[in-house]
Amino acid sequence: MASLGDKGEIGGLKVKNRIVMAPMGTNLACADGSVSPEMVAYYSRRARGGAGLVIVESSAVDFPYGSGGAAQPRADEDRFVPGLSRLAEAIQNYGARAVVQLNHAGRNRSGGWAPSDMDESELELIAEKFALAALRAKEAGFDAVEIHAAHSYLLTRFLSRAYNSRDDKYGGSLENRLRFPLKVLQEVKRRVGSLPVLVRINGREFLDGGIDLEESKEIARAFEKAGASAIDVSCGPGKTRYSLEPWITPQGWRIPYAAAIKAAVSVPVIGVGCIREPDFAQKILSENKVDFVAVGRGMIADPDWANKALRGEKIRPCIGCNLGCVGRRVFGKSPIRCAVNPEAGRESEAGYGPAGKKKKVVVVGGGPAGMTAALAAGKRGHEVTLLEKSGRLGGKALLAALPPGKERIKQWVEYLEEEIKGSGIRVLLDAPESGYKSMDPEVLVLATGAGTLFPEAVVAKRDNPEIRILTGEECLANLEVAAGKRITVIGGGGVGCELALTVAERGAEVTVVEMLDDVAADLDPITRQALKEMMAEKRILLKTGSAFEDLEEKRVIASTKSGRESWEADVVVFCWGQRPSLPQETISGIGAEVYVIGDAAEPGNFLKATAQGYWVGRSL
């Protein structure tokens, strides 16, 4: 029975434990595809965190036609070897094994190749490009390479009937569809000799005519026979909920596919798929479902995931928000960030040295922005007091943890609370926001949040006994008022949609009114689609392209695509915008450095709030 801390082996390569950092894009490479200092710092931090095997993200073997991502590393020319060497060395400095994933994006890039586009000479060329890239990785000092034949990249498209429409020896039967990917593996093996070569495949491709599990087992056996040292099992297609999962995805959902493939091959199998908890990782190892456990977003959230798992320490949880790793990186084409780990992607700037002068710092507001600022300032050696007007730290994050599947947000708040308890920060609960005035702070950080906007016509009607008018926060804090009622939510952004789901789960009949033509437009496409599917299951009525006008007795009036409409409601919840809760008189005449962060500066999300809190606190 294997344990997380047991040594492992892949193609003769000794690995210090069974924990793998999964390959994930970062957009941290330089614009020309060379390895940047930020990229080195990012990967070396995860190696320092204890991972036994670190798989560097998808790296292009053919530029520009085979590149994917806004800032993807390249391995297609010799000039990239020095940077790759620095990266491999930085990973190996901490005892981790360094692997680089090699990829051709194919039609995943606009104008890229599809299987039907390529003639024999072009197939020979691409196989050679994979092989030369692998040789460069070997010359750079990497311990192994991984060929990317998963998601919906070029090699996957040859393997899958959903994409491969060729009628020659490279299409049709599985034997034919395997021919080109196997040729790539064979060419790579010929160039790199004894260097281990891993292959990443789809355990299942969720497409009509796509790869199913039975085919995946055959594909894995074929790669093993051709010399693959290990099989890394993912699912596809790419840029969908099957490769970039939304928050609601169950932990380890891909593991059954990996387990079935492990039973079909004799080489080691790496399993991945929203693995969050060490106990779960240990369980699937103990049950012999996989040989190695790959952790992706968990290591973005906490780079010390592996060491903490092995020591039994509490891990900073990934909350599955997709704000910095998917929304910002994949769809925003910007460098990777993380809502719960403000250092992610900025490791080269991060860290704490002692402040030049110890200051008296008061932070007002105990939500994520305020807690993060207080912790950062405390680690610099300042005397920090944190004021929170309620009886518990967490702010609106505690309410954000109530929608379906969002319980990990509460775990994150609990993690921050534990950090603060051991930090020496003085915490004053049930404290008035003006309490800092008697403390004579040298630095004042205001993280007082934001309040919901109401239309003027509604403010005067909040005492109407016929209909209950609430903010989103008020509704979440008093969910019993929604049970079995007719609820209209004004504002169909992410917050409004999550609230609609929450009350629908309690038997409410819900209508959402949104001015835009789609709901959840402030979220990434994958999270948005998951929300919409869940709302459809709950029969939530979406009135998009509609503008709220007024309330009359128990009726909501709105301008919709069909004209002016009205309908009855027992409760109307406003989620259509916020404004900072920061009266100017609060800070006038204060003889201190003043910083305003989080929603108090400008309403936003966790990613923005914690980033501001961390970097302000660290700068003091």
- Hey, is 81 helix, strand or coil? helix
Q: Can you list the residues of the chain whose pLDDT is less than 70?
A: 110, 583-589
Residue with tokens 């939304």: 246
Q: Within a 10 A sphere around the Cβ of 263, how many other Cβ atoms?
A: 11
Chain segment 499-543, per-residue pLDDT in tens: 999 999 999 999 999 999 999 999 999 999 999 999 999 999 999
Question: Own/partner pairs for 397-400, CB < 8 Å, 24+ apart?
Answer: 397/367, 397/368, 397/606, 399/473, 399/476, 399/477, 400/498, 400/606
Q: Which positions ≥6 away from 557 have C-beta within 8 Å?
A: 548, 549, 550, 551, 564, 565, 566
Q: How far apart are the first and last CA of the chain?
A: 50
Q: What is the pLDDT of residue 4?
A: 98
Q: Which positions ≥6 away from 160 have C-beta within 8 Å?
A: 152, 177, 202, 205, 207, 209, 210, 211
Indicate which residues carry an active-site annotation: 153
Task: State how far the Cα of 504 lies from the Cα of 515, in Å rounded to an integer.
Answer: 21
Q: What is the pLDDT of residue 588?
A: 67
For helices 81-92 and 37-48, angle between their N-to-C axes, nearest 10 degrees: 20
Provide φ and ψ at 266, rounded to 5°. Answer: -110, -10
Q: Within a 10 A sphere around the Cβ of 587, how many other Cβ atoms?
A: 15
Whether 458 and 551 have beta carbons less than 8 Å apart is answered as yes
This prediction has a pTM of: 0.95
Chain segment 413-446, per-residue pLDDT in tens: 999 999 999 899 999 999 988 888 889 999 999 9
Whether 273 and 254 have beta carbons less than 8 Å apart is answered as yes
Q: What is the pLDDT of residue 392?
A: 97
Give the pair of three-digit tokens for residue 440. Answer: 């004579």
Q: Within a 10 A sphere around the Cβ of 562, how many other Cβ atoms?
A: 9
Task: State how far the Cα of 110 lies from the Cα of 10, in Å rounded to an integer.
Answer: 35
β partners of residue 364: 387, 446
Whether 567 and 336 have beta carbons less than 8 Å apart is answered as no
**C-alpha angle 346/296/42, rounded to 5°?**
25
Task: State how far the Cα of 67 lies from the Cα of 333, in Å rounded to an integer.
Answer: 14
